[in-house]
Structure 1
Amino acid sequence: MNMISDNALNALIRVGHLATQAGLVAQSIRFFEHLRDAYPLKAFPYVGIGLACIKTGRYAQAYEAFEQARTLDGSNGDIRLWCGICHLHCGRFAKSAQIFREIIATPPATGLDGFLELAKLLLDSPQLSPFRRPIVPQHIRG
């Protein structure tokens, strides 16, 4: 049972993201923390916190938020991509490359082609070159 209507909730989520974009990061994080308290089993508050942390370069904190979101919604491809980006910025290159390879090897869901292309571009970054290896798509591995 939702506490408020889906339309109202979506509007609140947009407000939180707009606050991040406007540079009101601390306020945005507090806003999403309140939403997290109201919706503890939903991934969206953690995604909002993670994106706000990225805005200020706090990639380790962002990773923790995205990892919590991934625990709640493991099928969300963009959360996996953000986890890989956080690993990349934290210098955890092997883990970052592993996530990007997994994204590339898994057939993309409808509408996630952009995430697939971004994962390919990031895997080609100079920092990850030592961790590149052939990718065998999941549907070919059997």
Structure 2
Amino acid sequence: MQHDTLELLISIGHYARVHRRFDEARYLFGRLALLYPRRAFPYLGLGLIELDRANYPSAALLFGRALEAVPDSVLARAWLGVCQVLEGHYALGARMLMTVADSDQPGATSMAAAFLKLPECAPFAAARVAQVEPTAASLSTIERLTIRNGY
């Protein structure tokens, strides 16, 4: 399929989704999933439909399918983390969102950062930072002096 045509179909699917024409959007993204089973975008579209409908378990499954198709999809990880948080699986969602926090995709990174700041996720995100950054007590005397003196 021509790249321009594919972009147009994806845009039409998202347009239908945004305007709550879920059956039409589901039909279109479902057909795209048949044509492109090893690409993430059809599953992301289907997942966003379920997310819009507040059907978080189904959305999470679809974002998981997007990750199966494209394991390094930052958007799929971000949306899966969001679904996990919305389902109340805060630790799981925070862990998933932390894998996105340093990505080079600004939309996914800012979404992950916003959800990691939620009161429900903050303890898990803070615990991860504490594990990465050594505390002064865990450093040797020479390491503390080096840090304190800026060397």
**Rounded Cα–Cα distance in structure 1 between residues aligned with 2:34 and 2:40:** 12
Counterpart residue number, 2:27 = 30
Secondary structure at the residue paired with 2:97?
helix
- Using structure 1 for the length normalisation, give the TM-score: 0.83
Distance 1:115 1:28 in 2: 22
- In structure 2, what is the Cα distance between the partners aligned to 1:55 and 1:31? 16
Q: Which runs of 5 or more structure 2 residues have no equivalent in the other structure?
A: 134-151
- Higher Cα Rg: structure 1 or 2? 2
Residue in 2 that maps onto 1:19: 16
1:108 maps to which residue?
103
Q: Tell whether the 8 Å contact from 2:38 to 2:70 is kept in structure 1 after alignment.
A: no
- Distance in 1, Cα, partners of 2:33 & 2:100: 27
Alignment RMSD, CA only?
1.7
Q: Is this contact kept in 1: 2:37–2:69, CA < 8 A?
A: no
8 Å Cα contact 1:32/1:49 also seen in 2: yes
Q: Give a deviation string over 1:19-39, Cα, whole Å, max 9, x none.
A: 001110122112111111122
Map 1:81-96 onto structure 2 (within 5 A).
81-96=78-93
Equivalences, count: 130
What is residue 128 of structure 1 aligned with on the other side?
121
* Deviation of 1:129 (Å): 3.3
- Most deviating of 124-133 and 66-75: 124-133
Aligned twin of 1:65: 62
Structure 1: distance between partners of 2:41 and 2:106: 21
State, as a whole percentage, how many aligned pairs show the same letter: 27
